[in-house]
């Protein structure tokens, strides 16, 4: 079942990419007491993710924070080393990279996709959400192959 607005985010283990290396975090602790703009991409360094999705959140970080977002986080079914490298290459300190290496979060929120046709296996769908103290406040799930409703611009328009 897919997560919905008003649902509590499931508690799963994620790995935060930091300058000092991978740092294990529990989602229940990470999302507690703050308002987070979370976006999910099918994979780090992939075309749409690198050319549009991540850069949009980097570019709109100040605008999102002006609308009450405390933190911006990106997740993908990649390991923390890949997420850290992608963050260094394409991101900024305004976006926290959260590796969902085993697809635990993607599965728990019911937003997985089959990327086997591209040699990618199980991945998280492209989506964005605003999580307020662990509860989904806004949810924007893309149709397969699209990049419209999960963008930073779309999220800003809904805040």
Centre a 10 Å sphere on the Cβ of residue 136 and count the other Cβ atoms it contains: 19
Active-site annotation holds for 74: no
The Cα 22–Cα 8 span in angstroms is 25
Per annotation, catalytic residue among 3, 49, 95, 136: 49
In DSSP terms, which residues pair with 43 in a beta bridge?
none
DSSP per residue over 48-71, as a string?
HIIIIIHHHHHHTHHHHHHTT--E
Query: What are the φ and ψ backbone dihedral angles of 18, each rounded to 5 degrees?
Result: -125, 165
The Cα 70–Cα 93 span in angstroms is 13
Residues noted as catalytic = 49
């Amino acid at each position: 079942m897919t997560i919905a607005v008003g649902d509590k985010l499931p508690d799963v283990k994620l790995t935060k990419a930091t300058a000092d290396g991978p740092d294990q975090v529990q989602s229940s602790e990470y999302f507690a007491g703050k308002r987070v703009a979370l976006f999910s991409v099918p994979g780090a360094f992939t075309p749409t993710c690198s050319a549009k999705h991540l850069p949009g959140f980097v570019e709109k970080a100040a605008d999102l924070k002006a609308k009450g977002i405390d933190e911006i986080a990106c997740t993908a079914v990649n390991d923390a080393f890949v997420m850290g490298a992608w963050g260094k290459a394409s991101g900024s300190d305004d976006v926290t990279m959260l590796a969902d290496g085993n697809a635990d979060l993607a599965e728990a929120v019911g937003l997985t996709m089959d990327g086997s046709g591209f040699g990618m296996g199980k991945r998280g769908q492209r989506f964005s959400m605003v999580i307020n103290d662990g509860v989904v406040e806004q949810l924007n799930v893309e149709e397969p192959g699209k990049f419209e409703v999960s963008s930073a611009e779309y999220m800003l328009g809904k805040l």
